[in-house]
Amino acid sequence: MDAPGSDKSQTENAVKCQIVQAVQAAKSAGKMPGGMEKVLSRVLVPSIDWRDVVADWVGGAFPDDYSYSRPSNRSSGGFVLPGLYSEGMGKIVLAIDTSISVYSHLDTLEAFKGAIEKLRDAYQFEGVVLCCDTAVRAVFTFGRTGPIEFELMGGGGTDFVPVFEWVADNMAGQDIAGLTYFTDLECWSYPAMVPGFPVLWACFGDSWEDDIYRGAVPFGDVVGIDD
């Protein structure tokens, strides 16, 4: 990375300023081509690896159980992973939006699952996988070791509410460390109440960059997932 005061850094900043000015002028004149603003935003905003965001989110779910001063000997895949020193931890719920759109993003889903498996190997959590379109279609459990396996079931529309209802009905009294929801966010049906555990919306496709969809998320954090 170039130092902030370097010639290259100054040149890049100057170019970005010119781009911003051009974008603002085009928008004011009503001449911004469709989709161009989104493309330019990717140039102007620094790229953040979604794997780092997910790792930070999972780490936040277990703030008292791990220590980075005792790194795990299972650390791999670019993660700097902490070492386990407590067995008292909650479960992670992995919800997968199995509406029809997910089937064109199976590589992205596999990349996301692989990242979760690496984190699970380090943090040694267990949990459940819920496949849901307009209803929870299948439930799979996973342990502290071994592959996280599931079969996609669904293919209809999208409704986020059933997942949270299933958790409330079937995991009452259990310690839930957090829930990640793999989805394209193209849904308007959210739970009326904020759940009592952290939620991460892991969004495939471009919807996470769309203010219409991202702005509708009433709770939790949103991160864009790609492979």
Please tell me whether residues 160 and 180 are part of one structural domain: yes
CATH of residue 172's domain is 3.40.50
Residue 143 lies in a domain: yes
Residue holding tokens 């943090």?
123
Residue 2 lies in a domain: no
Q: What is the mean pLDDT of residues 195-224?
A: 89
Please tell me whether residues 25 and 122 are part of one structural domain: no
Please tell me whether residues 130 and 220 are part of one structural domain: yes
pLDDT of residue 10: 55
Rounded to whole angstroms, how far apart are CA atoms 62 and 54?
13
DSSP one-letter string for the chain:
---TTSHHHHHHHHHHHHHHHHHHHHHHTT-PPTTHHHHHHHHHSPP--HHHHHHHHHHHHSTTTEETTS--TT--TT---PEE------EEEEEEE-SGGGGG-HHHHHHHHHHHHHHHHHH---EEEEEESSSEEEEEEE-SSS---------S---SHHHHHHHHHHSTTS-EEEEEEEE--------SS--SS-EEEEE-SSGGG-HHHHTT--SSEEEE---
pLDDT of residue 46: 54
Please tell me whether residues 86 and 188 are part of one structural domain: yes
Please tell me whether residues 78 and 38 are part of one structural domain: no
Please tell me whether residues 16 and 57 are part of one structural domain: no
Residue 37 lies in a domain: yes
pLDDT of residue 207: 79
pLDDT of residue 24: 55
pLDDT (tens digit per residue) in 118-176: 999 988 899 999 999 999 999 999 999 999 999 999 999 999 999 999 999 999 999 99
Residue 82 lies in a domain: yes
Residue 139 lies in a domain: yes
pLDDT of residue 72: 43
Q: What is the mean pLDDT of residues 9-21?
A: 56
Residues of the chain with pLDDT > 90: what percent? 52
Please tell me whether residues 71 and 24 are part of one structural domain: no
Q: Which domain holds residue 32?
A: 7-44
Please tell me whether residues 35 and 59 are part of one structural domain: no
Q: Which residues contact 162 (CB under 8 A, 6 or more apart)?
A: 132, 134, 135, 136
Mean of pLDDT over the chain = 79
pLDDT of residue 17: 58
Residue 1 lies in a domain: no
Please tell me whether residues 21 and 72 are part of one structural domain: no
Residue 204 lies in a domain: yes
Please tell me whether residues 17 and 107 are part of one structural domain: no
Rounded to whole angstroms, how far apart are CA atoms 151 and 58?
23
Please tell me whether residues 18 and 77 are part of one structural domain: no
Please tell me whether residues 38 and 140 are part of one structural domain: no
Residue with the larger pLDDT of the pair 193 and 212: 193
Task: Average the pLDDT over each of 41-45, 105-109, 202-206 and give the range with the smallest value.
Answer: 41-45
pLDDT of residue 86: 44
Contact 202, 112 (CB under 8 A): yes
* Structural domains counted in the chain: 2
